[in-house]
Amino acid sequence: MTNHKRLDEPTNTETVGHEWDGIEELNTPLPRWWLYTFYACIVFALGYTVFYPAWPGLHSATPGILHWSSREDLNAEMKAQQARNAPIMAAIAATPVEALPDHPQLLKAAIEGGRAQFRIHCIQCHGTGAAGIQGLYPNLNDDDWLWGGDLKAIQYTLINGIRNPDVPTTRTSQMPSFGRDGILQPAQIDDVVSFVRTISGQDAANASSARGAALFAANCVVCHGAQGKGNRLVGAPNLTDKIWLYGGGREAITNSVSNAHAGVMPAWGKKLDPVTIKMLAAYVHSLGGGEPNPPAVAPAPQ
């Protein structure tokens, strides 16, 4: 490599003095429009740092002579939106959750509000589509409900949660660990699993399921019922459908019978306001598995 400068004859432009294998670099000046644009950007940047928050300090950035703040703008926009939403929020607050379907516009607003709140508080477990995760969190789109799927039942579950020891009114169900606690022997558990798979339509009846029927009657009907259709009063699932939180295969059912699961859901009544919970109930109910509200019971005559 040589290092010398000269004028390039075809362009009459000075070279920078570098040459690589006969290739020389020209010292072509930058276009004036580009330089002016560059200088204008510098002036603009300096002006911006004077008028707006820019330079970081120990505790905050320089405020700028305009004292503009993106946080204050956001707070102002949020307060304005809250003011616009106040009438509808007040109407939702004044309407019992089971009465929302009688007010279509109010129900629609509650569902949309619940959709937004679901993305904040619920997708961490139930997922963005509320499909849950098998073996961990229930699918909220199906029509299988341990404690009921009408608006009021969903609202109660949201407020009180599931298995919250510090909430006296929390939802609680107790499934014995028949294997871990030695209530049933492995062969007996295998027979019970055969019976469950038979009543759920997965296997044909056989000798194992016949023995399991007697064991089921002696140990399981108190919660799941004689037909295995469950009991919402105690949160016992329906074993005859094909919806399984922890899996319906033989291995999964064996594990559930042997080592009972005890899922936990937060008691949102301690963390969210009543209107937000009501909107969440409306949204979850709208996902496809929501059930009609039970008919009102007339008061007994005095």
Mean pLDDT calculated for residue range 146-159:
96
- Examine the pLDDT at 75 and tell me if it is beyond 90: yes
Backbone angles phi, psi at 108, to 5 degrees: -60, -45
Alpha-carbon distance 208 to 197, whole Å?
A: 11
Q: Helices 151-160 and 274-286, interaxial angle, to 10°?
A: 130
In the structure encoding, which two tokens stand for residue 295, read together? 């008919």
Mean pLDDT calculated for residue range 2-21:
78
The segment with the largest mean pLDDT, out of 27-31, 140-144, 194-198, is: 194-198
Q: Is 130 helix (H, G, I), strand (E, B) or coil?
A: coil
The pLDDT value given to residue 24 = 83
What does the pLDDT look like over 212-250, one tens digit per residue? Answer: 999 999 999 999 999 999 999 999 999 999 899 999 999
Mean pLDDT of the chain: 92
Nearest to 179 by CA among 93, 97, 260: 260
Find all residues with CB under 8 Å of 236, minimum gap 6, and list them.
146, 173, 175, 223, 224, 225, 230
Cβ 151 vs Cβ 141: under 8 Å: no
- Examine the pLDDT at 295 and tell me if it is beyond 80: no
CB atoms within 10 A of CB 201: 10
The pLDDT value given to residue 3 = 57
- Examine the pLDDT at 184 and tell me if it is beyond 70: yes
What does the pLDDT look like over 170-180, one tens digit per residue? Answer: 999 889 999 99
Mean pLDDT calculated for residue range 193-198:
97
